[in-house]
Amino acid sequence: MKLTLNLLMIIFFIMSGCIRKKDFNDNLNSLVKTELAFAKKSKETGIREAFLTFLSDDAIVFHPEPIKGKPLYAEKPDTPGLLIWKPIFADVSIAGDLGYTTGPFEFRKDAKKKEPDGYGHYVTVWKRQNDGKWRVVIDAGIHHSVVERHPKEMVLSQSYKRNSHKYWKKVDIEKEHEKLLTQDRKFSKSSLLEGFKTAFEVYIADDVRYYRMDEFPIIGKEAVLVKLEEKNGLLTWEPMAAEMSISGDLGYTYGISEVKTGESGSVVNRRGSYLRIWKKQSDGEWKVVLDMANPIPSDSDKAHN
Q: What is the pLDDT of residue 130?
A: 95
Q: What is the pLDDT of residue 124?
A: 98
Q: Tens digit of pLDDT for each residue in 244-279?
A: 999 999 999 999 999 887 655 556 678 999 999 999
Same-fold call for 18-162 versus 166-304: yes
Looking at domain 18-162, does it have CATH number 3.10.450.50?
A: yes
Of 190, 169, 208, whose CA–CA distance to 288 is shortest? 208
Q: Tens digit of pLDDT for each residue in 131-166?
A: 999 999 999 999 998 755 555 556 666 544 444 444
Q: Tens digit of pLDDT for each residue in 20-71?
A: 556 778 999 999 999 999 999 999 999 999 999 999 999 999 999 999 999 9
In CATH, what is the architecture of 166-304?
A: Roll (3.10)
Torsion of CA 19, 24, 30, 32, to 10 degrees: -150
CA 14 to chain centre: 32
Crossing angle (nearest 10°) for helices 196-203 and 221-228: 170
Beta bridge partners of 29: none
Question: What amino acid is encoded at 40 in this protein?
Answer: K
Task: Give the burial string for 203-221 (b: 16+ CB within 10 Å, else e).
Answer: bbbebbbbbbeeebbbeeb
Of 286, 93, 99, 282, whose CA–CA distance to 204 is shortest? 286
Of 110, 108, 106, 142, whose CA–CA distance to 123 is shortest? 142
Question: What amino acid is encoded at 50 in this protein?
Answer: A
Residue 173 has pLDDT above 70, yes or no: yes
Of 213, 260, 199, 204, whose CA–CA distance to 235 is shortest? 260
In contact, 107 and 118? CB cutoff 8 Å = yes
Q: 169 in helix, strand or coil?
A: helix
Q: Mean pLDDT over residues 229-257, rounded? A: 93
Q: What is the pLDDT of residue 72?
A: 95
Q: Mean pLDDT over residues 98-124, rounded? A: 93
Q: What is the pLDDT of residue 300?
A: 52
Q: What is the pLDDT of residue 277?
A: 98
Of residues 10 and 84, more confidence is placed in 84
Q: Tens digit of pLDDT for each residue in 71-80?
A: 999 998 888 8
Lowest mean pLDDT among 1-10, 108-117, 198-207, 258-267: 1-10
Do the strands 250-261 and 82-85 form a parallel or antiparallel pair, or are they unpaired? unpaired
Q: 8 in helix, strand or coil?
A: helix
**Number of separate helices (H) and strands (E) present in the chain:** 8, 14
Average pLDDT of the chain, as a whole number: 85
Residue 175 has pLDDT above 90, yes or no: no
Beta bridge partners of 271: 258, 296
Q: Residue ranges of the domains in the chain? A: 18-162, 166-304
pLDDT-derived band at 2 (thresholds 50, 70, 90) equals very low
Do the strands 155-156 and 286-296 form a parallel or antiparallel pair, or are they unpaired? unpaired
**What are residue 161's phi and psi, to 5 degrees?**
-65, -20
Q: What is the pLDDT of residue 171?
A: 75
For residues 220 and 107, what is the distance between their CA atoms, to the nearest angstrom? Answer: 27
